[in-house]
Structure 1
Amino acid sequence: MRSAFKAKPPRYPTNWNDFPAGEHIRHAVNAVCSDYAERIFGYHFAKLGSLSADINLDTSPIRHHINHVPFSDLASERPHHNETKEGFPNHNASGISLGGDKREPKISRENTVVGQSHCLPFAENSIDGFLLANELDFAQDPHEILREVDRVITQNGYVIISGFNPLSLAGIAKFLPVKRGNILHDARFFTSYRIKDWLQLLGFEIVEQRQVMFSTLFFQQKWKGAVKLQDYLASYLPWCSAVYVILAKKRVIPMTAIKPKRNLKPRFSAVGASVRTSTMNRTLR
Structure 2
Amino acid sequence: MRSAFRSQAPRYPEDWTDFPAGEQIKQAITQVCDDYTQRIFGYHFVKLGSLSAQIPLKQSPIRNIISQVPYSAMHVSRDSLSDSAISSAEGMEGVNSSSQCFEDAKHQHGKLSDATLTDSHTFMGKDSSASPKIVGQSHQLPFSENSIDGFLLANELDFAQDPHEILREVDRVITQSGYVIISGFNPLSLAGIAKFLPVKRDNKLHDARFFTSYRIKDWLQLLGFEIVEQRQIMFSTLFFQPRWEYSKNIQHYLSAYFPWCSAMYIILARKRVMPMTAIRPKLQLKRQFSPVGAASARTSSYNKTKN
- Can you list the C-alpha shifts for 1:56-78, whole angstroms capped at 9, x where unaligned? 0011010001101012662636x
Rate the CA distance shift 1:75–1:257 in 2: closer, same or farther, 3 A.
farther
* Cα drift, residue 2 of structure 1: 5.9
Helix, strand or coil at the partner of 1:265: coil
The question of whether the paired residues in 2 share the 8 Å contact of 1:75 and 1:112 is answered with no
SS of residue in 2 equivalent to 1:45: strand
Code of the residue aligned with 1:195 in structure 2: it is: I
Report the alpha carbon displacement of residue 126 of structure 1 after superposing the two structures with TM: 0.3
The residue that corresponds to 1:31 in the other structure is: 31
**What is the one-letter code of the residue matched to 2:26?**
R
> Aligned with 1:220: secondary structure?
coil
Distance 2:73 2:268 in 1: 30
Structure 2 residue identity aligned to 1:252: V
Conservation of the 8 A alpha-carbon contact between 2:14 and 2:73: no
Flag the 1:72–1:173 CA change in 2: closer, same or farther, 3 A: closer
Q: Which ranges in structure 2 are unaligned for 5 or more consecutive residues?
A: 78-126, 303-307
Superposition pairs of residues 70-219 of structure 1, within 5 angstroms? 70-71=70-71, 74=74, 76=76, 104-107=128-131, 111-219=132-240
Q: Which structure shows the higher helix fraction?
A: 2
Task: Tell me the equivalent position of 2:290.
Answer: 272
What percentage of aligned pairs have identical amino acids? 68
Q: CA 1:270/1:139 → structure 2, altered by over 3 Å: closer, same or farther?
A: farther
Matching residue of 2:63: 63
Q: 1:256 aligns with which of 271, 277, 281?
A: 277
Aligned-pair CA distance for 1:275: 1.8
Structure 1 residue 189: deviation in Å?
Answer: 0.3
TM-align CA RMSD:
2.3
Q: Distance in 1 between matches of 2:34 and 2:152?
A: 11
The residue that corresponds to 2:115 in the other structure is none
In the TM superposition, residue 274 of structure 1 has moved relative to its aligned partner by: 5.2
Partners in 2 of 1:281 and 1:149 — Cα distance?
A: 74
1:279–1:61 distance in 2 versus 1, CA, 3 Å? same
- Give the secondary structure class of the aligned counterpart of 1:156: strand
Structure 1: distance between partners of 2:264 and 2:224 = 24
> What secondary structure is seen at the aligned counterpart in 2 of 1:66?
strand
1:28 partner amino acid: A
Report if aligned partners of 1:72, 1:114 keep a CA contact under 8 Å in 2.
no
Cα deviation 1:114-148 (Å, max 9, x = unaligned):
11111111000000000000000000110000000
Which structure has the greater CA radius of gyration? Answer: 2
CA contact (8 A) 1:206 1:247 kept: yes
Q: Contact 1:120 / 1:148 at 8 angstroms: preserved in 2? A: yes
SS at match of 1:157: strand
Secondary structure class of the residue paired with 2:71: coil
Provide the residue aligned with 1:42 in structure 2: 42
TM-score by length of 1: 0.82
Q: In the alignment, residue 106 of structure 1 is paired with which amino acid?
A: A
Provide the rounded CA distance (Å) in 1 between the counterparts of 2:294 and 2:146. 60
